[in-house]
Amino acid sequence: MIRKLLLATLLAAVPAGVLAAPAQAAISRPARVASVSAKPGPGAGQVTFTWRHDGSNTTAFVIETGLTSFKANDPKLPDHGRNAKYFTISPKRRSVTLTAAQVAAAGAPAGSANHLYYRLRAVNKTRYGTGVRDWPFLQSVAVRPAAPSTAGTPLRVASFNVRTANATEDGRTWPRRAPLVAKTIVSRNPGVVAVQELSPYRADGKKLPTGTAVRQTASLVKSLAAQGASKYRLVRTSPYGKPGVVEGTQGARILYDSSRYRLAGRCAETSADGAYYSPSCTVMLPVRAGDSAKERRRAAYALLEDRATRKRFFVVAAHLDARHSKNLTTEASLDTLRANQVKTAVAHVNRLNTAKVPVVLAGDLNSWQNNKGGYRAHDALIAAGFYDTAAAATQINIRYTTMTDFAGTVPSSTWGWGARLDAIAVKGVRGAQRFENVMKRTDSNRASDHNMIVADIRLP
């Protein structure tokens, strides 16, 4: 009893606060971060981060990166981006350069044209717990691209989703837009164009037998000739599938400048019995289990040769599955399908490409980097050794989306990089000199709901 009274007396004499819980007393929150910035480089595939902080109550800094936007005072966003990575840095540092290997691990190798979303956190780790202070803004940074080759045979490649003639509900139907599509192509004078939604059926979009009506494929060639560009030819103009057999869009086509290139392989327009259709120079793309036949698509391919240098290269035109869902599980399933479609096209051409010539795969991937459901088709291309030409030394209109949906004015991305549903990827080629998203920000007379994209490369 005497001991208890003595203890109570001693405790009463201790100043208030001295006996606070050790963890509460010992953990101090780091000081505020004054600023954070990042820039590409200095080397290919690298990114450099710089920040200001007085260093108080800080035992480390952590940079979090992601391939999609994530939470920074925005409750609508997820806590972390896709492929989230964390880089811990000494409290003495105020800048750091991530190596090409680190950036690649974060999902943005030099040839991907991906950018990184990022935020910085100051951390105070103590024996009693950890205090943190976040820089409250989510930011993004590009990755320095690889230096392009300056030697070899120049090649300008374009990709253009021209909008199907079947979209007769559009305010401006294909017959009105075809001259604008042709004018756009002629304005950039590409050697090869991967075209999507160029149907082998009626140019007027009517659900009637083709008969003697002009086909959309032929109408584009005629419109180009009217622009003084009769040099352009289509590898194929006829239907890919047998009449009466249901399948999806047959609009993936390859257009080339016949004055500069020649078709180095046979791509028959008719079947063995002379019917006006042929599956030649196409590859059937997979669908999901349970999908109907109308969802099945084809990619087109051709082996072309430069008339002057005899350099050969494959071109693949692809238009991947266009379905999307607000349900992330369903969207991920559709995105996996798009990846399987691009893998199928690449595998088919690889089997044909015994000479190991360069390959260009271009088209509408129907996904984009910031798609929360994934960007797997693009990931598959990069994993297969392709280089996204948007990672070019010179980039034009990269701030804008490539799919405008005929908007009168296209907003500039707040992140600095617009959604690129359309891509030109190359294999066996080092880098790209120039990439252009061909557009005007304000335009009430757009040729299509997609912009044409153009890349300048050199064949080794």
Confidence grade of residue 26 (pLDDT, cut at 50, 70, 90)? low
Average pLDDT over residues 270-297: 95
308 and 190 both lie in a single domain: yes
Residue 363 reports pLDDT greater than 80: yes
pLDDT in tens, 223-252: 999 999 999 999 999 999 998 898 998 999
Q: CATH no. for residue 338?
A: 3.60.10.10
**Would you say residue 17 has pLDDT above 60?**
no
Do 331 and 214 belong together in one domain?
yes
Q: What are phi and psi of 353, to 5 degrees?
A: -85, 65
Cis peptide before 40 (omega within 30 of 0): no
Q: Are residues 212 and 331 in the same domain?
A: yes
Do 198 and 326 have their domain in common?
yes
Q: Which H or E run includes 300? A: strand 298-306
The residue with tokens 């019917």 is 275
Can you give the residue range of the structural domain that contains 36?
22-141
Domain shared by 288 and 323, yes or no: yes
Query: Does some domain include residue 6?
Result: no
CATH number at residue 71: 2.60.40.10
d(Cα 440, Cα 451) in Å, to the nearest integer? 9
What is the three-class DSSP state of 378?
helix
Same domain, 82 and 105: yes
Question: Does a structural domain hold residue 66?
Answer: yes
Reported as a single tens digit per residue, the pLDDT across 378-419 is 999 999 999 999 999 999 999 999 999 999 999 999 899 999
User: Which residues are within 8 A (CB) of 54 and not within 5 positions of it... i.e. 6 or more apart?
Assistant: 31, 34
The CA–CA distances, whole Å, from 48 to 103, 316, 381, 417 equal: 10, 36, 26, 18
pLDDT over 70 at 14, yes or no = no
Provide the β-strand partners of residue 160: 195
Q: How far apart are CA 449 and CA 171, in angstroms?
A: 12
Cα–Cα dist 386/41, whole Å: 21
Residue at a domain's end among 89, 106, 141: 141
What is the pTM assigned to this prediction? 0.92
Provide the percentage of residues in the chain whose pLDDT is more than 90: 88
Same-domain status, 455 and 309? yes
Whether residue 305 sits in one domain with residue 433: yes
> Do residue 246 and residue 333 come from a single domain?
yes
Question: In this structure, is residue 166 part of a structural domain?
Answer: yes
Checking phi first, is residue 431 left (phi over 0); if not, alpha (psi -120 to 50) or beta?
left
Q: How many domains is the chain built from? A: 2
441 lies in a domain? yes
In 3D, which of 107, 104, 105 has the Cα closest to residue 44? Answer: 104
Q: Is residue 398 part of a domain?
A: yes
> Are 365 and 243 contained in the same domain?
yes
Nearest to 100 by CA among 59, 145, 130: 145
CA angle 288, 278, 323 (to 5 degrees): 25
